[in-house]
A and B are shown apart, each in its own frame.
Chain A
């Protein structure tokens, strides 16, 4: 197997920004998000404009929280779920900064972060903002049905998170270091049901995790917390079973952003999903855990189902991917 884990020596998570919709604010992690809106329109005319607003918020807050200015940012790398990445592309009209758009379905948060980290580690960039967004109404329309259609949903289905998360990563030392990243492979477990993406994505997550541990020659308990993006209730169990079978048990360390972001009594089926799910939980909650020394090391694995409705109608199976990024608390040298 080719080596796919890259170790960084000078990449730091300087500041993060998160902006969410009302349901996410009401959830158990509500207090960790920087900004929230009373309804899903976020003060805009339509859903796409609302998602752009969330993305712009997150980027601006991340820059402010870093104590830097927009002029200090060398590059923005962002992505979302909507056709042609229009949310990121259109939001960038307001930012006078070089931009790279990326698509990795719900793995976009870590895909942009690991790309940015490699750029910074190369020495060619100093400050990069990475961001990703999703919106329940835009994603439902894109991947399933418009919400107004009122189609029935099975309990295995996930619920797209409305929000956006951004991080400013930098070569200037700060207390959280990005130490390593593993780039995922496209894994197709021959699953066809687009209403159960958690199970489809679990094999991709396990592939990336196992390669991460093997490449670095570490065991899962090197980390205090291993967080997957949006496997939700069903997919998480599949992942735990695979990891147990592969002799890398992670039962005690594993958390899933899709399960963390909503509470049991919120009607979200199997849990949260979408680019924003992993982004807001990582850049809101996990960042806070590291800041307050509750954990020292965290591995975040964002999972993405690389399907679109046309492929599903053509009876294709669902290819999936997962990217992992490791965060470590470090002492800042004055």
Chain B
């Protein structure tokens, strides 16, 4: 360990050379940290629940029962054993709606990040490797995008295009790409001057091939870490959009929508806004913990 810590940070390049040894080292570093493991386990449970929602949810999420409206959670006075986390103003089961709500949050979060990733990384590679006038234009576009609060821009465009899940994914994706562009561009600028890229160029390798084979793989670790953290952000943004009333436009429950409804009943049924919010908190926290530990595990300078 001591020797490794003395090694220059350039050893990231080693990832391409001996993938198996490197991967097991990263894995060992990740496993050593209890917070990362706790996050990963929590995430596994949440994803599992979302995938198997129809089987694990105790009730149909849309089933109403007027006799059981505003049933408090099972441990509170007046709780009903059939409804662990209580029911809402029309008697729908909170827990079941939360389990189903996980689906939309996760799908939107991951898909939006895939959109940002593809757009942002491509533009970052172009901007950094080609440079010149293209770089100036792209960086101006980044500056313009950064001038708008992401939520405000997403809010306006989702409203203009009509709320739907696809719109939300595309709009969140297209308002969150500039981070990738900036990071990838910076890495490419640093990598471009490295000896191994110089060597490849001297051997007559084409620019496209240099970027795809030599530059791109070296930006992977920062892209992976950033994507993890961006999924957490996208989930928060989607919840905020649902809360503000420009959600997916469907009857399918989302966490943000449940909190928005719960706000109106906050004085009679505290559990309605509380639990969906906890679900968001735990999911985002788990993703953030995993992302943070991943960063340390992938960073050869941290032992």
Q: Are chains A and B native binding partners rather than an unrelated pairing?
A: no
Q: Which positions in B face A, CB cutoff 8 Å?
A: none
